[in-house]
Structure 1
């Protein structure tokens, strides 16, 4: 006997007959014409805005570098010849004197005027646009002095031995490699009118936080010697010392003119100077 099935072999689930399959819920936004171009344009500033931004960054970097790291100066006089000539451009680094570092004997330093040391000619600063550029480190600065450190705290400086050399703490210094040709009997002749014999003087000990400095062109430099008091000068209203706090930094390179470009370093001649003067050398 056969059974007649009236329904389908696999009946569909209730409610599923003739129901369309659900569509995935997808939201698609059609890109409007020109949208890709707008996105590309938003990624790039106009040229004029980029230029202003880059200029601003460059100015900030220049100010930071000048303030903390390296600054350009020009030589204002003949006092450091033959190594540095008037109007030479030099670079001064400030890192050596960070965190308690102090100028050392033999360093060529740039420092602010202790008061009345700069002549009218030396005190001139750039004018106009050059003056503005110098303030942000894009042009060499003026109105400062450039000298060589001869004595530091505690040192006694004497002029001179039988060969005309200065003595620091009793140690003669051979300065022939960097001094201008000697014009006189010694390397540290006093200026006329100083009230002492030109090649027979002693000064020190250098007070705490002070420096004794001289130019390399000794007959053309109004340096610490020029501001010494004569033995019979009373009261003494001047001082040969430079406050270490006035030091801007150490000269490390002559950069212009290009034909004379060179590194500037501390001479070895100061290496043998003892830290303390010999007994009985205190002029006071």
Structure 2
């Protein structure tokens, strides 16, 4: 028997359609892994570090415009950082601005979270964005003889107000309870804020525990890229 006779017959290579199928299958698996990894990283970042948020109304004009995508710093207050007057915050108004909302269930919550993670919506219908005017212990009053809001007797320099707006058309005099905040929109004539909810639980104030984070940057549209400097009182 010759060497050539002893050789085993070579196996035929996989047919072309099968090779194409294997290449396609590997490619699909690769991109599925990439997609799932991206979603996981984005979700974790949104949940614990920075969350995109869409501005839904004109209550913060001209600081924030309708449709702006802002980035909310969720670490700003997480490790003992103080909430300051002048901070622009996102908070959950359930129980103060809104009645307690019913749980929509895990599936709806997951969908809301995924949409919020990419900045196409909010994680809750009760999320608000406003500016902090008074913190716990402050006495906030409208208005002095010159029509200015005062905090602890000192008038505020509210250069961020929407052009033509007065500080407030609603008179109030409130002592902010400890652990709570008095918040207002920059577009005072188009903002349902603490003034609107004086008769609600908390007297229009918001619990610090409901604060989601501080708005630090405008990320979209490109022409409005900027950081927001807090106007501390």
> Could you say which TM-score interval applies, normalised by the shorter chain?
0.7 to 0.9
Aligned twin of 1:260: 224
**How many angstroms apart in 2 are the aligned matches of 1:210 and 1:132?**
26
**How many angstroms apart in 1 are the aligned matches of 2:221 and 2:118?**
17
- Which residues of 2 match residues 86-97 of structure 1 at below 5 A? 86-97=66-77
For the aligned residue pairs, the C-alpha RMSD in angstroms reads 2.6
Aligned twin of 1:277: none
1:220 aligns with 2:174: no
**How many angstroms apart in 2 are the aligned matches of 1:218 and 1:110?**
17
Aligned twin of 1:7: none
Aligned twin of 2:118: 138
* Larger helix percent: 2
**How many angstroms apart in 2 are the aligned matches of 1:114 and 1:132?**
17
TM-score (norm 2): 0.76
After TM superposition, give the deviation of residue 261 of structure 1 in Å: 1.8
When the two structures are aligned, how many residues end up with a matched partner?
198
After TM superposition, give the deviation of residue 217 of structure 1 in Å: 0.6
**How many angstroms apart in 1 are the aligned matches of 2:136 and 2:201?**
21
User: Which of the pair has the greater relative contact order for Cα pairs under 8 Å at 6+ separation?
Assistant: 2
Q: What are the ranges of 5 or more consecutive residues in structure 1 without an aligned counterpart?
A: 1-32, 34-44, 119-126, 191-197, 230-235, 271-284
After TM superposition, give the deviation of residue 253 of structure 1 in Å: 1.0
> Are 1:151 and 1:211, in contact at CA under 8 Å, matched by a contact in 2?
yes
Please state whether the residue corresponding to 1:46 is helix, strand or coil: helix
Q: Say which one has the larger Rg.
A: 1
- Which residues of 2 match residues 193-212 of structure 1 at below 5 A? 198=171, 201-204=172-175, 206-212=176-182
**How many angstroms apart in 2 are the aligned matches of 1:262 and 1:157?**
30
Aligned twin of 1:123: none
Aligned twin of 2:142: 159
**How many angstroms apart in 2 are the aligned matches of 1:238 and 1:170?**
22
Please state whether the residue corresponding to 1:95 is helix, strand or coil: coil
> Are 1:82 and 1:217, in contact at CA under 8 Å, matched by a contact in 2?
yes
After TM superposition, give the deviation of residue 100 of structure 1 in Å: 2.5
**How many angstroms apart in 1 are the aligned matches of 2:230 and 2:133?**
11
